[in-house]
């Protein structure tokens, strides 16, 4: 099972990298987070992956030639992003449980043909200054997770081009704590 950015956050919290005082809501067990290789794949309507590969180049031994990627229509891009978002949403109950209820809500929404927003709501009021500083310190780790987990999962769902993922963290009262957008570098 491919893991997402949210799983990376859970792992960061579980290993103590995210040293926010959560009033006893820190996770007690580290979830398994597996790395995934970037893939270029197509998905069927029922979510099955067809012919994944780690390269857009054909196997030289098969005598194939490289073909340029075809641009997809807005409808195809929307369908691909919707597949990705639905797959991520299916993981929400597991993610919330893995954080030992540190979050009361996690919303995953597509914002346009190339953007998703992940909104995490803390279960308990958290000091926004301390939390913001902790998230700022984790930006390199979170960016690496976006590049190695989120982006490949989006690509596997068929999302093409430059993509943006915004992560929003809200306090229990829905006040803003931290927000960051990561962008693919293609």
What's the rounded Cα separation, in Å, for the pair 146 and 169? 16
Query: What Å distances lie between residue 162 and 53, 63, 88, 113, 185, CA to CA?
Result: 20, 30, 19, 10, 7
For the question of whether the overall pTM of this predicted structure is more than 0.75, the answer is: no
Burial status of residue 60 (CB atoms within 10 A of its CB: 0-12, 13-18, 19 or more): exposed
Please check the confidence at residue 22 and state whether its pLDDT lies above 90. no
Domain borders along the chain are 5-31+71-183
Give the mean model confidence (pLDDT) for residues 14-31: 35
The average pLDDT across 28-50 equals 37
CATH of region 5-31+71-183, choose from 3.40.720, 3.30.300, 1.10.3470, 1.20.120? 3.30.300
Instruction: Calculate the average pLDDT of the chain.
Output: 74
Dist. CA 101–CA 17, nearest whole Å: 18
CA distance 150 to 38: 10
- pLDDT band, residue 30 (cuts 50/70/90): very low
Split at pLDDT 50, 70, 90, the class of 169 is: very high
In tens, the pLDDT along 55-88 reads 333 344 444 444 344 568 999 999 999 999 999 9
Q: What is the pLDDT of residue 72?
A: 80
By DSSP bridging, strand 115-122 and strand 103-110 are antiparallel
**Residue 119, burial from CB neighbour count under 10 angstroms (0-12, 13-18, 19+):** middle
Q: C-alpha 125: how far from its chain's center?
A: 24
Q: What is the mean pLDDT of residues 94-106?
A: 92
Q: Which of 44-58, 63-77, 137-151, 153-167 has the lowest mean pLDDT?
A: 44-58
How far is CA 123 from its chain centroid? 21
């Amino acid at each position: 099972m491919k893991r997402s950015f949210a799983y990376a956050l859970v792992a960061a919290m579980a290993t103590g990298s995210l040293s926010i005082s959560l009033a006893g809501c820190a996770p007690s067990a580290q979830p398994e987070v597996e790395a995934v290789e970037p893939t270029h794949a197509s998905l069927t309507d029922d979510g099955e992956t067809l012919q994944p590969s780690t390269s857009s180049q054909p196997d030289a031994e098969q005598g194939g030639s490289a073909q340029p990627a075809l641009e997809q229509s807005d409808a195809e891009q929307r369908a691909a992003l919707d597949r990705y978002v639905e797959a991520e949403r299916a993981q929400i109950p597991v993610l919330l449980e893995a954080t030992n209820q540190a979050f009361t809500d996690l919303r995953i929404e597509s914002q346009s043909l190339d953007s998703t927003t992940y909104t995490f709501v803390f279960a308990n009021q958290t000091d926004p200054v301390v939390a913001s500083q902790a998230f700022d310190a984790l930006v390199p780790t979170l960016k690496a997770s976006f590049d190695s987990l989120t982006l490949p999962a989006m690509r596997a769902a068929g999302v093409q081009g430059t993509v943006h993922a915004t992560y929003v963290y809200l306090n229990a009262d829905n006040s803003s704590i931290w927000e960051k957008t990561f962008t693919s570098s293609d």
